[in-house]
Amino acid sequence: MTLTVEPAHRAPEKGLKTGALGLISSVVIGIASTAPAYSMAATLGFVVVAIGLQAPVVTILAFIPMWFISIAFQQMNRADPDCGATFTWATRAFSPRVGWMGGWGVLAADIIVMASLAQIAGQYVFDLFNANGIGNNATSPWVLAVGVAWIVAMTWICYVGIEISANFQKALLGIELTMLTVLSVWALVRVGNGSAPVGHLAPALSWFDPFKVKHFSNLVVGLADMLFIYWGWDTALNLNEETDDPENTPGKAGVISTFFLLGIYTLVILAVESFAGIGSTGIGLGNTAHTNDVLSILGPAIFGHSTLASTLDHLLLLMVLSSAAASTQTTILPTARTVLSMAVHKAMPKVFTKMHRRFLTPTVATVSFGVASIGLYVVMNFLSAGHVIADSVSALGVMIAFYYGLTGFSCVWYYRHHLTESVRNFFVQGVMPLIGGIILYLILGWSFWYYWQPVNSYTHWDVFHHEIGGTFTLDVGALLLGVILMLTMQAFRPAFFRGETLNRNSPTLGGASTTPKPEVTLT
């Protein structure tokens, strides 16, 4: 017998604009949320330093848990298409406290990444206009100012409506994917015709052999960093209540996005690694002097110095800038909706339920996230002497593993009584989400141990006369803050934590929803 998931009960009315997104728009948002160009620029150097030539195979290995978790998201969305996603599903599967921390994991990851997105945007704006002296200075107050302005601009776009956001994403993603493809093909052609610089390498099958990674710890570092380049496709699931088919479209979009990302990442990494090699000098990907941003260095080297090359190089800079714009926007969108859902279900203050009458967007939730992002960006920029990207990218691996893995476990536990009803149920609702969750939590635990050591972070903190890595401090600090906020909400919003506002019995599995219709304020 196969479990048939009937059209699930609609999530409580939140005032969002329903039917605004179709499958194509959802896939675009899912892919754009990962910011392929920005992710490559900010992460590839770290991955190559850690694992060398095996970067292509680690790209494939990191895809496996992401694919399995996208299946978990799809299955949970079919049962309950609520824009709170992990928050709502973990609450239904386990408990309000677990669900609240799952929602906090989403918020923490999104706030942390905003700092590096703003930093990249700030630097690339100046690089685009040939002001390299400013753009290459990570601590420049001008870069900080542009980064802050960038967050303000993207927050405003998210404020004025989901359809405007989706159309903007299509334009940005078009630029991004076109230039990534041109960059990759151009690099491979130059490798093939022998015009690549000294240090280039011919692509080899050995690059796809994971057993050639010298140390297991290096492999895990690479996998943790690769989580960052895949992360973001779940934005399509947070916009489920605004799609034309909430139970099916968002889940399909999430799964499609992960496969598309696998293809584009494998192509780009293979091409760039072949062209630049992994040397520690010049344009080599192992050169730590430009680990934070490999694409701005590789662009001129790949395209050359002709007029056409200069144009392509500037288009490449525009590509990374548009990628950062897309990711900034699609980081604000899901976070605001997670906060909205938590407020609607009385897990957060009621003020976050306020919606705009005309735009049908969460007003306070959107603006508050923008303000919080600016605050963290400014603080991190001053305290870490410009090393915002390095430690925040590393810290993100833990946050991503935390809430993605929790969603996988929630799927298994939620459907536990139906796993043996068919082979499909057993694998799709049980085995795949479980394996994905286990892999991610193993990476999470290992990352805590690894980043505890100050030598593995770009910043160090002295805690009770003991030096601790900045990445570890950022992760633990974020989780402890989440616990403190949860206990505070439990004191002031007890109804949710008593299980009175979000019925944990799913109508699709035989329960009957008694969730009261929440109040949503239109402003």
d(Cα 91, Cα 80) in Å, to the nearest integer?
12
Residues 6+ apart with CB under 8 A from 129: none
**pLDDT at residue 422 in the model:** 94
Residues 337-362, mean pLDDT to the nearest whole number: 88
Residues 413-421, mean pLDDT to the nearest whole number: 94
d(Cα 56, Cα 43) in Å, to the nearest integer?
13
**pLDDT tens by residue, 470-504:** 788 888 888 999 999 999 999 998 999 988 877 55
d(Cα 514, Cα 503) in Å, to the nearest integer?
6
Closest CA to 59 of 45, 71, 73, 47: 47
Q: pLDDT > 70: what percent of the chain?
A: 87
H-type helices in 55-161, by residue range?
A: 55-79, 86-93, 96-128, 132-135, 141-159
Both tokens of 445, joined, read 């635990």
- Burial label, 153 (beta-carbon count in 10 A; 0-12, 13-18, 19+): middle
Residue 468: φ, ψ to 5°: -130, 145
Q: How far apart are the first and last CA of the chain?
A: 49
Both tokens of 102, joined, read 């799952």
Does 84 map to a domain?
A: yes
Residues 50-64, mean pLDDT to the nearest whole number: 91
**pLDDT at residue 51 in the model:** 87
**pLDDT at residue 135 in the model:** 63
Residues 6+ apart with CB under 8 A from 11: 80, 81, 82, 83, 84, 88, 241, 246, 341
Q: Which residues pair with 522 in a beta bridge?
A: 355
> One-letter amino acid identity for 80?
D
Does 516 map to a domain?
A: no
Both tokens of 189, joined, read 């052609």
Residues 252-274, mean pLDDT to the nearest whole number: 93
d(Cα 481, Cα 347) in Å, to the nearest integer?
16
Q: Which helix (H) or strand (E) holds 264?
A: helix 249-276
Both tokens of 519, joined, read 């109040």
Does 86 map to a domain?
A: yes
Contact indicator for 63, 385 with CB cutoff of 8 Å = no
Does 11 map to a domain?
A: no
Residue 65's domain comprises: 23-508
**pLDDT tens by residue, 83-97:** 899 999 999 999 999
Does 13 map to a domain?
A: no
Residues 9-19, mean pLDDT to the nearest whole number: 60
**pLDDT at residue 73 in the model:** 96
Both tokens of 373, joined, read 């992002």
Does 457 map to a domain?
A: yes
Residue with tokens 């929630």: 410
Contact indicator for 400, 228 with CB cutoff of 8 Å = yes
d(Cα 44, Cα 29) in Å, to the nearest integer?
22
d(Cα 497, Cα 517) in Å, to the nearest integer?
17
Does 474 map to a domain?
A: yes
Both tokens of 215, joined, read 């140390």
Contact indicator for 338, 85 with CB cutoff of 8 Å = yes
When divided into structural domains, the chain yields a total of 1
**pLDDT at residue 138 in the model:** 63
**pLDDT tens by residue, 183-238:** 999 999 999 999 988 889 999 999 999 988 888 888 888 888 888 889 889 988 88
**pLDDT at residue 2 in the model:** 38
CATH number, domain with residue 483: 1.20.1740.10
Contact indicator for 454, 464 with CB cutoff of 8 Å = no
Q: pTM for this structure?
A: 0.86
- Angstrom distances, CA of residue 10 to CA of 46, 81, 468: 43, 7, 46
Both tokens of 371, joined, read 């303000």
Q: Quick one: pLDDT band at residue 4, thresholds 50, 70, 90? A: very low
Instruction: Look at residue 18 and give its three-state secondary structure.
Output: coil
